[in-house]
Structure 1
Amino acid sequence: MTPDARLDWRAPHPSELHQTVGSLRRGPGDPAYLTAPDRSVWRATRMAEGPATMRLSQRGADEFRCEAWGPGAAAAVASAPELLGARDDTARFEPRLPELVEAHRRNPGFRVPRSGRVLEALVPAILEQKVITLQAHDSWRVLLRRFGEPAPGPTPRPMLVPPSAEGWRMIPSWEWHRAGVDPQRSRAIVRVAALAERVEEAAGMTSADALARLTALPGVGPWTAAEVAQRALGDADAVSVGDYHLANFVGHALEGRDMSDEEMLAALAPWAGQRYRVIRLLGLAGHRGRPRRGPRMPFVDHRAR
């Protein structure tokens, strides 16, 4: 099936498709994200012009092709370079520690993506507030299967485009409940969807202004804003302060001990401007953080309430 739009793009630096865009996937069963057997990435998204399905394929160390279908196809392919890290320049990054030097050397294609679709990143980030990741991913799947729009194009399996801002606003309270989403998170999503125009404006702001805009939204704190900045805004410095595991992950990776959020930020201070990159590289270096000795964060079934 001939795509509605296509772009061949050569990156100005080494780039690796899956390391770069993999953070956009919300769990292995995400109806809006698919890795095909040929290693291409299919992504269902909603551009300002309408729904689109993107097929991203890597054709060389720095060569990519983006094909797209649907009303938003032209805008989708135009956004592909930034999605693949075109804005992410590592020239000023100083790894400093030997293991970061090695991780950076071994993973030259890791880039911080910039989708530019702020609400699309914000809704699943709110779903992930104060629950385990598997639970949030399950809610995302249920909601998209119930309220998503069939993705255009010859997708390898049926895919779904996330709802529009109006679509999120119109979901009844009992459907949030059936998806395992408590009233606090569902109200936050409905409220930010009602402010969609102001939400999307964050994509054109500086990092500091964008984070200020996001954290001024009801139900959006520093953790949620950072999660959005890492995916929609291409922010290589955004640290998810308040994460259940992150401070101890960084603490054990850098100093072999538990850390508070304040201690984590102090430890990451030498890499100001690149702190999210450092965290990702620590993961790519094989660090798993603190050995699990205590209880995991509990699964809370809001459908039983």
Structure 2
Amino acid sequence: MLALGFFDGVHLGHQKLIKRAKIVANEKHLPLMVMTFDRHPKEIYAGKTNFRYIDTLTEKADKIAALGVDYLAIAPFTHGFSKLSPQEFVDQVIVALKADTVVAGFDYTFGPKDVANMENLPYFAKNRFEIVILPEQTSGGSKIGSTAIRKAIKEGKIDLATELLGSHYITSGIVGHGKRNGHKLGYPTANLILEDRKVIPKIGVYATRTLVNGKWYESMTSVGYNVTIGNSNQIYIETNIFDFDENIYDEPITIEWYKYTRGEIKFDSLDELKKQLDLDQIEIKNYFRHKKD
């Protein structure tokens, strides 16, 4: 059994596809392999070297493993690989992996989309394997897709991203050394240095939870340019962890995003900024207090 897709985010649509493949694999008493790529094909054929991802490869692998997949194949998407003809892809990948059945979404392509699509896959398959096509998946009228989720995160629509993912968006990295301006205001922050090219949420303040040393804490996270203190062009992700007072410089943390609460504001004084941070903390603590899940 072979399930095909890029699976960025391993969202609800991906989960349904993999679960369907698992059912067929169990019926046929076969192991289930999922095949994906080490980078998005657009990085190669469209030259999008600044492409940002929902999941790192490790996050993606962990999510796929949790769905009961037996094998995960991560193919290097190189310039050479991108030049495979549709027939070569079928012969050198699908058939070479000895796939009994292929499961993929309706929009999966393995070359030029007007030719190498799921509608034409039977022609290239030549009856050497069975094909299961999963139709478009929606939630609340919205298409469940990685592109839609990336867009939602970038627009600060965290509720929508969570709904389509089936889980909260996360970012992980190491705590870097900042200017300690948060300490001066009574709101020390952990400055996140992202490990990979993850999608960055819209500029603003968010209700979040932060994982430190195996424990989750409620927190508020700012994504912004520090417009009140300094005029940097760099985007900072700074998290104030509630009820926490430890030195975690150079330590790994994971941020789980829950809700966009406000945009970035430039204040005339640090006192005004401090008052706003007080209000932010109250609002976010109330949000978690009344949150049911």
TM-score (norm: length of structure 2): 0.23
- Higher strand residue share: 2
Q: Say which structure, 1 or 2, has more relative contact order (CA 8 Å, 6+ apart).
A: 1
- Higher helix residue share: 1
TM-score (norm: length of structure 1): 0.22
Larger radius of gyration: 2
